[in-house]
Structure 1
Amino acid sequence: MARWLQSDVLKIFLYVAGSLTLAAWISPWLYNVGMGLAEVTEGKETNGVIAWLGEHARRSKDNFPRFFDRSFLLASVVLLFPLLSWLKMGRGSGSYRDTPWSLRLPDSVVAMNRGQALRRNPSGLSQALIGFFVAAGLLLVAGWLMLQAGIFMWRDAAVSTGGVPNPLLMEIDWGKAFRKALPTALVVATLEEVLFRGVLLGIFLRAMRPAPAIATLSFLFAFVHFLEPPVGVRVPDPEAADAGFVLLGQIFSRFADPFSMLGRFLVLASVGVVLAIARWRTASLWLPIGLHAGWVFSHVIFKSATWPVAGLPELVRWFVGASLLEGLLPLTIMVITGIVVAMLTRVPDEGEKV
């Protein structure tokens, strides 16, 4: 039991649970402080930062989930320092470079029973570019097929290919879409890959064999991204002390929804699996960063240029949801991308196979 309690994998899961609990507790307080700032700064000249916070709070008055998101981020940062200290418990002293926190380790200090270290990758940039174009290309081709099938429509088209009228006709600003999509893709992909596939997968690989490590981390990756509140969710009394826990209950209710699990959670989990395999088979973050950036880029571009068509049969929504990353068809695209990644990457040495 003592050994299990010292498991770094358990500590990571407890850290996520603790961050959620703390966020649920402090989010009503953050909401009340925000509404106070909104009231005090309305129509008055004050400090620039205070005025910006007040304006931001006013715009989010009816959006309590946004305060919960900020609370979760704050809780994650606050609890990160105890986590880092806890992860060192029960360990002997060691070099900083002999840890999964290091971005690269020389072969001479890598022990087989201590997981897989990230190594220098001379082909890193080309792998990142290949990953980007493979991921973005396959997902955008799927999006084009959805447009032809009448499941989505261009924002500037009067009707979809199925003859459904456009409820909100508007011009597509491709320049603005690209300027938003590319930086977003690069920043999100880099930060998340350093955290999930760089740090966390390194920790998980030290605690278990590659296959369960990849599966466990992919579940955690999907779970964290699945915490986004349902569209249109409302908390009856955001000022109540239990408002955060009410919202948390609504978020967790999605796990009982078959469509959410098959159409969203499994897609996220498959994304995590493909990225983890890419990291493990190349022992670097270049390929997963490229893949991740390609998916984010194509998702943002497609969302900026199209609308989902309303009124389609329920069966259609099981295959394609309201975005490029929802439904059984996107899940199939992730599987195909994983097969392509497996074909492009090296075969692991004997004894390292997943």
Structure 2
Amino acid sequence: MRAGCLRVVCNAERGPGLCDTAQLRAAPRGQRPGRLRLPLLCLLLGVALLGSVVCGVALGPTGIPLGKTVALLREAVRGGVIPAEDAGIYYIIRDVRLPRVLLAAVVGAGLSAVGVATQAMVRNALADPFVLGISSGASVGASAVALYGILGALGLYALSTAAFLGALCATALVYAIARTSNGLAPLRLVLTGTAMSYGFSAITTLLIFQAPNGNAAKSTMFWLLGSLGGVTWNSLPVATVVVACGLCYLLLSARRLNALAMGDETATTLGVSPARFRRELFVVAAAVTGVLVAVSGAVGFVGLMLPHLARLLVGADHRRVLLLAPLAGAVFLVWTDLLARTVAAPEQLPLGVITAAIGVPCFLLLMRRRGNALGGN
């Protein structure tokens, strides 16, 4: 009887694509999908990520042999002596490419994790930080710093702080507008977030249009489409710490995410307060998204597509999805950034162009394969 009740609640209340959680709870333990292959998939993705980092450092407008790249990276880690003839290549590897590749992995992992949390929070398979207006709000704050020098007293942390505050303000505004006396309806939340996203994008466009420096406006417009150009080692610590903390929180909350994905009534019967948990998820999503927008601009499609790929491989249990999706997102964005800086070299393409070019056909193919789960009849 319990299994039937869970399926009814899931079908009635949650958005398309997330109902597998109830079916997993009802299924016998030995029949749950992905139970045995999760460690293997994580191992394969871990190895793929390591290989992707090495390839990302080696490949580019100036190609470096893989063997020399590995040798120089090893010497850099060990603090060894670098031959004088390799000093130029070592500088490219250590100070130009390595921080950029590592940041790409951090951004990909963070956006994928936030995408998983957002889709569970609103029980909608098409949700991501862009849909809820979080990324657009962060872009407003970051653009204000880049164009007008707001919060300049914070120095290195001005951009991250402004982006986080913008994301948090956008989140609070969307939450306040979407909330009713009956609580927070997921569909109302998505619609409000979508509308506010257009509003924040208009504010960002106005800031760019009114910018006193034309070159700064052009650079900001390019950066808002997603870019890791100009990344240094100083860009890594804050983003890495925030993403790591956010991912740890989500992993510890995986059971609550499973309950929330089954509907508010079911979550309440399982001891989870939907309203309070959504507020916590809002803050976490705002923090992670704000910091990532500050270092990479608004990179689209990662938080939408990678969670679905993870569910396709290991099912809908968030304890598994939150292990796999960040690894997949990290690998994906490392190769995306590599394409962005090599396809039209010496010019660099915005990351958003590459993610859309890859993500749109992949997502359409995924919808055809999982038609019933993503809104098919």
TM over 0.5: no
Structure with bigger RCO (C-alpha 8 Å, 6+ apart) = 2
Higher helix share: 2
Which of the pair has more CA radius of gyration? 1
Q: Could you say which TM-score interval applies, normalised by the shorter chain?
A: 0.3 to 0.5
TM-score w.r.t. length of structure 1: 0.37
